[in-house]
Structure 1
Amino acid sequence: MALTLESLLGFLRVTVSLPSFPVCCCYLVMILFLAPIWQRKTSPVQIRPILILHNFACSLVSIIAFVGFLRGILQSDSIFQKGDSEMLKPVYRLYWLTKLLELLDTVFMIVRHRRRQISFLHVYHHSSILLLSDVAYHMYPWPGIAFYLMNNSFVHIVLYMYYGLSALFPDKSFPWKRHITELQIFQFFVGFVHATFGYMYHGFCIYGIFYGITMTVLFSNFYYKAYLAPKKLKAS
Protein backbone atom coordinates (compact mmCIF):
# COMPACT_ATOMS: atom_id res chain seq x y z
CA MET A 1 0.00 0.00 0.00
CA ALA A 2 1.47 3.35 -1.07
CA LEU A 3 1.50 6.45 1.11
CA THR A 4 -1.44 8.68 0.16
CA LEU A 5 -3.69 11.03 2.12
CA GLU A 6 -6.53 8.53 1.84
CA SER A 7 -4.41 5.65 3.13
CA LEU A 8 -3.08 7.82 5.97
CA LEU A 9 -6.61 8.79 7.03
CA GLY A 10 -7.65 5.16 6.81
CA PHE A 11 -4.70 4.15 8.99
CA LEU A 12 -5.67 6.79 11.58
CA ARG A 13 -9.30 5.63 11.59
CA VAL A 14 -8.19 2.05 12.20
CA THR A 15 -5.86 3.17 15.00
CA VAL A 16 -8.56 5.13 16.82
CA SER A 17 -10.96 2.17 16.64
CA LEU A 18 -8.52 -0.28 18.26
CA PRO A 19 -9.33 -1.74 21.71
CA SER A 20 -5.85 -0.63 22.82
CA PHE A 21 -6.31 3.00 21.79
CA PRO A 22 -8.03 4.13 25.05
CA VAL A 23 -5.37 2.26 27.01
CA CYS A 24 -2.65 4.08 25.06
CA CYS A 25 -4.32 7.45 25.74
CA CYS A 26 -4.51 6.69 29.48
CA TYR A 27 -0.87 5.63 29.38
CA LEU A 28 0.18 8.98 27.92
CA VAL A 29 -2.00 10.94 30.38
CA MET A 30 -0.41 9.03 33.24
CA ILE A 31 3.09 9.95 32.07
CA LEU A 32 2.38 13.60 31.24
CA PHE A 33 0.12 14.61 34.13
CA LEU A 34 -0.13 12.01 36.88
CA ALA A 35 3.55 11.03 37.15
CA PRO A 36 4.76 14.57 38.07
CA ILE A 37 2.06 14.85 40.74
CA TRP A 38 3.00 11.45 42.16
CA GLN A 39 6.66 12.42 42.35
CA ARG A 40 5.86 15.68 44.18
CA LYS A 41 3.47 14.13 46.69
CA THR A 42 5.16 10.81 47.52
CA SER A 43 8.45 9.13 48.30
CA PRO A 44 9.99 6.36 46.18
CA VAL A 45 8.47 2.94 46.80
CA GLN A 46 10.65 -0.16 47.00
CA ILE A 47 9.04 -2.94 44.95
CA ARG A 48 11.97 -5.27 44.29
CA PRO A 49 10.00 -8.56 44.71
CA ILE A 50 7.38 -7.31 42.24
CA LEU A 51 10.09 -6.33 39.76
CA ILE A 52 11.67 -9.78 39.97
CA LEU A 53 8.34 -11.52 39.37
CA HIS A 54 7.29 -9.15 36.59
CA ASN A 55 10.54 -9.35 34.63
CA PHE A 56 10.90 -13.12 34.77
CA ALA A 57 7.21 -13.50 33.87
CA CYS A 58 7.66 -11.26 30.82
CA SER A 59 10.72 -13.26 29.79
CA LEU A 60 8.80 -16.55 30.14
CA VAL A 61 5.83 -15.29 28.12
CA SER A 62 8.22 -14.03 25.45
CA ILE A 63 9.69 -17.54 25.19
CA ILE A 64 6.21 -18.98 24.61
CA ALA A 65 5.44 -16.30 21.99
CA PHE A 66 8.78 -16.81 20.23
CA VAL A 67 8.26 -20.58 19.96
CA GLY A 68 4.69 -20.08 18.74
CA PHE A 69 5.68 -17.59 16.05
CA LEU A 70 8.61 -19.76 14.96
CA ARG A 71 6.37 -22.84 14.56
CA GLY A 72 3.84 -20.87 12.54
CA ILE A 73 6.49 -19.39 10.25
CA LEU A 74 8.20 -22.75 9.67
CA GLN A 75 4.87 -24.23 8.56
CA SER A 76 4.11 -21.35 6.19
CA ASP A 77 5.24 -20.95 2.60
CA SER A 78 7.58 -18.02 3.24
CA ILE A 79 8.39 -15.23 5.69
CA PHE A 80 6.43 -12.89 3.38
CA GLN A 81 3.24 -14.98 3.30
CA LYS A 82 0.02 -12.99 3.65
CA GLY A 83 -3.31 -14.35 4.81
CA ASP A 84 -4.70 -15.26 8.24
CA SER A 85 -3.14 -18.22 10.02
CA GLU A 86 -5.30 -20.12 12.51
CA MET A 87 -2.16 -21.53 14.10
CA LEU A 88 -0.72 -18.07 14.66
CA LYS A 89 -3.90 -16.34 15.83
CA PRO A 90 -3.57 -17.44 19.52
CA VAL A 91 0.10 -16.46 19.50
CA TYR A 92 -0.79 -13.03 18.17
CA ARG A 93 -3.29 -12.65 21.00
CA LEU A 94 -0.69 -13.66 23.58
CA TYR A 95 1.80 -11.21 22.11
CA TRP A 96 -0.74 -8.37 22.22
CA LEU A 97 -1.60 -9.13 25.87
CA THR A 98 2.12 -9.17 26.64
CA LYS A 99 2.45 -5.61 25.33
CA LEU A 100 -0.30 -4.57 27.76
CA LEU A 101 1.60 -6.26 30.58
CA GLU A 102 4.83 -4.49 29.62
CA LEU A 103 3.22 -1.09 30.20
CA LEU A 104 3.83 -1.85 33.87
CA ASP A 105 7.50 -1.09 33.18
CA THR A 106 6.56 2.59 33.09
CA VAL A 107 4.29 2.33 36.12
CA PHE A 108 7.16 0.85 38.12
CA MET A 109 9.47 3.67 37.01
CA ILE A 110 6.94 6.25 38.18
CA VAL A 111 6.36 4.53 41.52
CA ARG A 112 10.12 4.34 42.11
CA HIS A 113 10.66 7.98 41.01
CA ARG A 114 12.75 6.94 38.01
CA ARG A 115 11.31 9.55 35.64
CA ARG A 116 14.71 10.03 34.00
CA GLN A 117 14.29 6.56 32.49
CA ILE A 118 10.96 7.53 30.88
CA SER A 119 12.51 8.92 27.70
CA PHE A 120 10.79 9.67 24.41
CA LEU A 121 12.19 6.39 23.08
CA HIS A 122 10.70 4.46 26.00
CA VAL A 123 7.24 6.00 25.61
CA TYR A 124 7.22 5.80 21.80
CA HIS A 125 8.31 2.18 21.82
CA HIS A 126 5.80 0.98 24.42
CA SER A 127 2.81 2.88 23.04
CA SER A 128 3.48 2.21 19.36
CA ILE A 129 4.18 -1.51 19.76
CA LEU A 130 0.98 -1.85 21.79
CA LEU A 131 -1.10 -0.36 18.97
CA LEU A 132 0.75 -2.26 16.24
CA SER A 133 0.37 -5.59 18.06
CA ASP A 134 -3.36 -4.84 18.37
CA VAL A 135 -3.61 -4.15 14.62
CA ALA A 136 -1.68 -7.33 13.85
CA TYR A 137 -3.85 -9.53 16.08
CA HIS A 138 -7.23 -8.20 14.95
CA MET A 139 -6.49 -7.58 11.27
CA TYR A 140 -3.25 -9.17 10.01
CA PRO A 141 -2.36 -12.43 11.80
CA TRP A 142 -0.11 -13.37 8.88
CA PRO A 143 3.11 -15.40 8.84
CA GLY A 144 4.74 -12.43 7.09
CA ILE A 145 3.96 -10.10 9.99
CA ALA A 146 4.82 -12.79 12.55
CA PHE A 147 8.46 -12.50 11.43
CA TYR A 148 8.76 -9.09 13.13
CA LEU A 149 7.00 -10.20 16.29
CA MET A 150 9.08 -13.36 16.55
CA ASN A 151 12.28 -11.30 16.45
CA ASN A 152 10.91 -8.88 19.02
CA SER A 153 9.89 -11.76 21.29
CA PHE A 154 13.41 -13.18 21.12
CA VAL A 155 14.92 -9.84 22.10
CA HIS A 156 12.48 -9.53 25.00
CA ILE A 157 13.46 -12.96 26.29
CA VAL A 158 17.00 -11.65 26.79
CA LEU A 159 15.94 -8.14 27.83
CA TYR A 160 13.59 -9.17 30.63
CA MET A 161 15.93 -11.91 31.76
CA TYR A 162 18.55 -9.19 32.23
CA TYR A 163 16.10 -6.98 34.12
CA GLY A 164 15.03 -9.91 36.28
CA LEU A 165 18.59 -10.86 37.16
CA SER A 166 19.45 -7.22 37.88
CA ALA A 167 16.51 -6.99 40.30
CA LEU A 168 17.36 -10.35 41.87
CA PHE A 169 21.06 -9.48 42.31
CA PRO A 170 21.14 -5.66 42.66
CA ASP A 171 24.77 -5.62 43.79
CA LYS A 172 26.02 -7.62 40.80
CA SER A 173 26.97 -6.08 37.46
CA PHE A 174 25.98 -7.85 34.24
CA PRO A 175 28.27 -6.88 31.33
CA TRP A 176 25.83 -7.77 28.56
CA LYS A 177 23.59 -4.68 28.93
CA ARG A 178 25.30 -2.95 26.00
CA HIS A 179 24.92 -6.02 23.81
CA ILE A 180 21.16 -6.04 24.42
CA THR A 181 20.94 -2.57 22.87
CA GLU A 182 23.02 -3.80 19.94
CA LEU A 183 20.63 -6.73 19.57
CA GLN A 184 17.67 -4.32 19.57
CA ILE A 185 19.23 -2.18 16.85
CA PHE A 186 19.96 -5.27 14.76
CA GLN A 187 16.37 -6.47 15.25
CA PHE A 188 14.85 -3.25 13.96
CA PHE A 189 17.30 -3.04 11.07
CA VAL A 190 16.37 -6.59 10.01
CA GLY A 191 12.72 -5.60 10.33
CA PHE A 192 13.33 -2.56 8.13
CA VAL A 193 14.97 -4.73 5.45
CA HIS A 194 12.14 -7.26 5.62
CA ALA A 195 9.52 -4.50 5.38
CA THR A 196 11.31 -2.98 2.39
CA PHE A 197 11.37 -6.27 0.47
CA GLY A 198 7.79 -6.92 1.55
CA TYR A 199 6.69 -3.56 0.20
CA MET A 200 8.64 -3.85 -3.06
CA TYR A 201 7.76 -7.43 -4.00
CA HIS A 202 4.87 -8.68 -1.84
CA GLY A 203 2.42 -5.79 -1.48
CA PHE A 204 3.18 -4.97 2.15
CA CYS A 205 2.19 -1.65 3.71
CA ILE A 206 4.76 1.15 3.47
CA TYR A 207 4.28 2.10 7.12
CA GLY A 208 6.39 -0.88 8.15
CA ILE A 209 9.38 0.77 6.46
CA PHE A 210 8.79 4.04 8.28
CA TYR A 211 8.47 2.30 11.63
CA GLY A 212 11.66 0.33 11.05
CA ILE A 213 13.51 3.57 10.26
CA THR A 214 12.23 5.38 13.36
CA MET A 215 13.11 2.54 15.71
CA THR A 216 16.56 1.98 14.18
CA VAL A 217 17.36 5.70 14.39
CA LEU A 218 16.06 6.15 17.94
CA PHE A 219 17.84 3.10 19.34
CA SER A 220 21.05 4.01 17.48
CA ASN A 221 20.87 7.51 18.96
CA PHE A 222 20.41 6.04 22.44
CA TYR A 223 23.34 3.68 21.88
CA TYR A 224 25.59 6.54 20.77
CA LYS A 225 24.74 8.73 23.77
CA ALA A 226 24.96 5.88 26.26
CA TYR A 227 28.10 4.09 25.08
CA LEU A 228 30.05 5.99 22.41
CA ALA A 229 29.78 9.66 23.41
CA PRO A 230 31.08 9.09 26.98
CA LYS A 231 34.16 7.33 25.59
CA LYS A 232 34.87 10.23 23.23
CA LEU A 233 34.44 12.70 26.09
CA LYS A 234 36.75 10.67 28.33
CA ALA A 235 39.38 10.42 25.58
CA SER A 236 39.33 14.16 24.96
Structure 2
Amino acid sequence: MAQVIQEYLQRWDQFVDKHKDPRVDDWLLMDSVWPGTFLVLVYLFIVWVGPKLMEKRQPFQLREVLMAYNFAMVLLSLYMVIDVYFQHYDPQFGRGGWLNGYTYGCQLVDYSNSPQAMTMLNVCWWFYFSKFIEMWDTFFFILRKKKAQISFLHVFHHAIMPFTWWIGVRFVGGKSLSQ
Protein backbone atom coordinates (compact mmCIF):
# COMPACT_ATOMS: atom_id res chain seq x y z
CA MET A 1 0.00 0.00 0.00
CA ALA A 2 2.82 2.42 0.87
CA GLN A 3 4.41 1.73 -2.50
CA VAL A 4 1.15 2.58 -4.28
CA ILE A 5 0.89 5.88 -2.40
CA GLN A 6 4.54 6.69 -3.10
CA GLU A 7 4.03 5.97 -6.81
CA TYR A 8 0.92 8.15 -6.88
CA LEU A 9 2.78 11.03 -5.21
CA GLN A 10 5.66 10.69 -7.69
CA ARG A 11 3.20 10.84 -10.59
CA TRP A 12 1.57 13.90 -9.05
CA ASP A 13 4.94 15.65 -8.72
CA GLN A 14 5.79 14.77 -12.33
CA PHE A 15 2.43 16.13 -13.51
CA VAL A 16 2.96 19.39 -11.60
CA ASP A 17 6.53 19.78 -12.88
CA LYS A 18 5.39 19.23 -16.46
CA HIS A 19 2.37 21.56 -16.46
CA LYS A 20 3.09 24.19 -13.80
CA ASP A 21 3.39 27.90 -14.39
CA PRO A 22 7.03 28.68 -13.50
CA ARG A 23 6.24 32.34 -12.78
CA VAL A 24 4.86 31.41 -9.34
CA ASP A 25 7.57 28.93 -8.30
CA ASP A 26 8.90 31.22 -5.55
CA TRP A 27 5.56 32.65 -4.39
CA LEU A 28 4.24 31.90 -0.90
CA LEU A 29 2.33 28.57 -0.73
CA MET A 30 2.76 27.94 -4.47
CA ASP A 31 5.84 25.71 -4.66
CA SER A 32 3.81 22.66 -3.67
CA VAL A 33 0.24 21.77 -2.77
CA TRP A 34 1.39 20.33 0.57
CA PRO A 35 1.76 23.54 2.65
CA GLY A 36 -1.81 24.55 1.74
CA THR A 37 -2.97 21.01 2.46
CA PHE A 38 -1.37 21.22 5.89
CA LEU A 39 -3.20 24.51 6.60
CA VAL A 40 -6.52 22.97 5.52
CA LEU A 41 -5.89 19.98 7.81
CA VAL A 42 -5.15 22.36 10.71
CA TYR A 43 -8.40 24.19 9.88
CA LEU A 44 -10.37 20.92 9.95
CA PHE A 45 -8.74 19.92 13.25
CA ILE A 46 -9.71 23.26 14.81
CA VAL A 47 -13.26 22.87 13.51
CA TRP A 48 -13.40 19.42 15.10
CA VAL A 49 -11.76 20.22 18.46
CA GLY A 50 -12.73 23.90 18.84
CA PRO A 51 -16.40 23.41 19.79
CA LYS A 52 -15.35 20.77 22.33
CA LEU A 53 -12.90 23.20 23.94
CA MET A 54 -15.55 25.93 24.03
CA GLU A 55 -18.28 23.66 25.44
CA LYS A 56 -17.95 24.77 29.08
CA ARG A 57 -16.74 28.30 28.41
CA GLN A 58 -18.57 31.54 27.92
CA PRO A 59 -18.67 32.84 24.34
CA PHE A 60 -16.08 35.47 23.52
CA GLN A 61 -17.21 38.99 22.79
CA LEU A 62 -15.33 39.81 19.60
CA ARG A 63 -17.12 42.90 18.31
CA GLU A 64 -13.98 44.99 17.83
CA VAL A 65 -11.96 42.08 16.45
CA LEU A 66 -14.74 41.26 13.97
CA MET A 67 -14.99 44.88 12.89
CA ALA A 68 -11.23 45.00 12.25
CA TYR A 69 -11.30 41.63 10.47
CA ASN A 70 -14.21 42.62 8.24
CA PHE A 71 -12.64 45.99 7.48
CA ALA A 72 -9.36 44.26 6.53
CA MET A 73 -11.25 41.86 4.26
CA VAL A 74 -12.98 44.79 2.56
CA LEU A 75 -9.59 46.47 2.03
CA LEU A 76 -8.14 43.26 0.57
CA SER A 77 -11.11 42.89 -1.79
CA LEU A 78 -10.85 46.54 -2.77
CA TYR A 79 -7.13 46.10 -3.49
CA MET A 80 -7.88 43.15 -5.79
CA VAL A 81 -10.59 45.05 -7.67
CA ILE A 82 -8.41 48.14 -8.04
CA ASP A 83 -5.44 46.05 -9.17
CA VAL A 84 -7.55 44.43 -11.90
CA TYR A 85 -9.38 47.50 -13.13
CA PHE A 86 -6.79 50.21 -12.50
CA GLN A 87 -3.59 48.33 -13.16
CA HIS A 88 -0.46 49.89 -11.69
CA TYR A 89 1.28 50.32 -15.03
CA ASP A 90 -1.65 51.98 -16.81
CA PRO A 91 -4.05 54.17 -14.84
CA GLN A 92 -6.61 54.30 -17.66
CA PHE A 93 -9.84 52.70 -16.41
CA GLY A 94 -10.63 49.32 -17.89
CA ARG A 95 -7.18 48.44 -19.27
CA GLY A 96 -7.17 45.12 -17.42
CA GLY A 97 -9.60 42.47 -16.35
CA TRP A 98 -13.07 41.98 -17.70
CA LEU A 99 -13.26 45.39 -19.35
CA ASN A 100 -10.41 44.61 -21.71
CA GLY A 101 -9.91 41.05 -22.90
CA TYR A 102 -11.41 38.86 -20.22
CA THR A 103 -14.73 37.15 -20.67
CA TYR A 104 -16.79 34.93 -18.40
CA GLY A 105 -16.19 32.04 -20.80
CA CYS A 106 -13.11 29.99 -21.58
CA GLN A 107 -10.07 31.63 -23.13
CA LEU A 108 -6.37 31.11 -23.59
CA VAL A 109 -3.96 32.15 -20.86
CA ASP A 110 -0.97 34.40 -21.46
CA TYR A 111 2.01 32.78 -19.73
CA SER A 112 4.29 35.72 -20.55
CA ASN A 113 5.77 38.16 -18.07
CA SER A 114 3.85 41.08 -19.54
CA PRO A 115 2.62 43.62 -16.98
CA GLN A 116 -1.03 42.70 -17.61
CA ALA A 117 -0.41 38.97 -17.28
CA MET A 118 1.62 39.42 -14.10
CA THR A 119 -0.97 41.76 -12.58
CA MET A 120 -3.75 39.26 -13.19
CA LEU A 121 -1.59 36.41 -11.87
CA ASN A 122 -0.84 38.49 -8.76
CA VAL A 123 -4.55 39.16 -8.17
CA CYS A 124 -5.31 35.45 -8.61
CA TRP A 125 -2.67 34.66 -5.98
CA TRP A 126 -4.09 37.22 -3.56
CA PHE A 127 -7.54 35.69 -4.05
CA TYR A 128 -6.03 32.25 -3.34
CA PHE A 129 -4.29 33.56 -0.21
CA SER A 130 -7.54 35.18 0.94
CA LYS A 131 -9.09 31.71 1.15
CA PHE A 132 -6.83 30.96 4.13
CA ILE A 133 -7.66 34.29 5.77
CA GLU A 134 -11.38 33.60 5.32
CA MET A 135 -11.06 30.43 7.40
CA TRP A 136 -11.05 32.78 10.39
CA ASP A 137 -14.82 33.17 9.85
CA THR A 138 -15.22 29.66 11.24
CA PHE A 139 -12.83 30.28 14.13
CA PHE A 140 -14.86 33.34 15.11
CA PHE A 141 -18.05 31.27 15.02
CA ILE A 142 -16.40 28.73 17.32
CA LEU A 143 -15.14 31.37 19.76
CA ARG A 144 -18.56 33.06 19.82
CA LYS A 145 -20.31 29.67 20.20
CA LYS A 146 -22.36 30.17 17.01
CA LYS A 147 -22.36 26.45 16.29
CA ALA A 148 -25.46 26.61 14.07
CA GLN A 149 -23.50 28.66 11.52
CA ILE A 150 -20.84 25.96 11.14
CA SER A 151 -22.66 23.73 8.67
CA PHE A 152 -21.15 20.96 6.59
CA LEU A 153 -21.42 23.19 3.52
CA HIS A 154 -19.61 26.05 5.31
CA VAL A 155 -16.70 23.82 6.37
CA PHE A 156 -16.56 22.02 3.02
CA HIS A 157 -16.44 25.34 1.18
CA HIS A 158 -13.56 26.67 3.30
CA ALA A 159 -11.69 23.35 3.04
CA ILE A 160 -11.99 22.93 -0.74
CA MET A 161 -11.51 26.50 -2.01
CA PRO A 162 -7.75 26.66 -1.34
CA PHE A 163 -7.25 23.58 -3.52
CA THR A 164 -9.30 24.90 -6.41
CA TRP A 165 -7.48 28.23 -6.34
CA TRP A 166 -4.06 26.63 -5.92
CA ILE A 167 -4.75 24.70 -9.14
CA GLY A 168 -5.89 27.89 -10.85
CA VAL A 169 -2.84 29.93 -9.87
CA ARG A 170 -0.33 27.09 -10.29
CA PHE A 171 -1.49 26.15 -13.81
CA VAL A 172 -3.66 28.84 -15.45
CA GLY A 173 -3.21 32.26 -13.83
CA GLY A 174 -2.66 35.29 -16.02
CA LYS A 175 -4.11 37.63 -18.61
CA SER A 176 -6.31 36.51 -21.48
CA LEU A 177 -4.86 36.36 -25.00
CA SER A 178 -8.25 37.01 -26.57
CA GLN A 179 -7.80 40.81 -26.78
TM-score, normalising length: structure 1: 0.49
Q: How far apart in 2 are the matches of 1:73 and 1:46?
A: 41
Aligned to 1:35: 50
Report how far residue 73 of structure 1 moved: 3.5
CA contact (8 A) 2:50 2:142 kept: yes
% same residue? 26
C-alpha distance in 1 between matches for 2:174 and 2:121: 8
The answer to whether the 8 Å contact 1:24/1:127 transfers is yes
Q: Which has the higher helix share?
A: 1
Alpha-carbon RMSD across the aligned residues, in angstroms, is 2.6
Equivalence map 1:102-121=2 (5 Å): 102-121=134-153
Comparing both chains, which one has the higher relative contact order based on Cα–Cα distances under 8 Å and sequence gaps of 6 or more?
Answer: 2
What is the SS of the residue equivalent to 1:44?
Answer: coil
Name the structure 2 match of 1:19. Answer: 35
| 1:78/1:115 CA distance change after superposition, 3 Å | closer
Query: Following superposition, which runs of at least 4 residues in structure 1 exceed 4 angstroms of deviation?
Result: none
Equivalent position of 2:108 in the other structure: 82
| Partner SS for 1:87 | helix
1:183 corresponds to: none
In structure 1, stretches of 5+ residues that fail to align are 1-5, 145-236
- Residues 60 and 144 in structure 2, CA contact (< 8 A), matched pair in contact too: yes
Query: Is contact 1:99-1:130 (8 Å) kept?
Result: yes
Following superposition, the deviation at residue 86 of structure 1 comes to 1.7
CA distance in 2 between partners of 1:77 and 1:53 (Å) = 33
The alignment's TM-score, normalised by the length of structure 2, stands at 0.64
Of 79, 88, 103, the match for 1:64: 79
Distance 1:78 1:39, change over 3 A: closer
Deviations 1:129-178 (Å, cap 9, x if unpaired)? 2221222222220446xxxxxxxxxxxxxxxxxxxxxxxxxxxxxxxxxx
CA distance in 2, matches of 1:91, 1:78: 16
Alignment length (residue pairs): 133
Contact kept, 8 Å, 1:73 with 1:143, in 2: the verdict is no
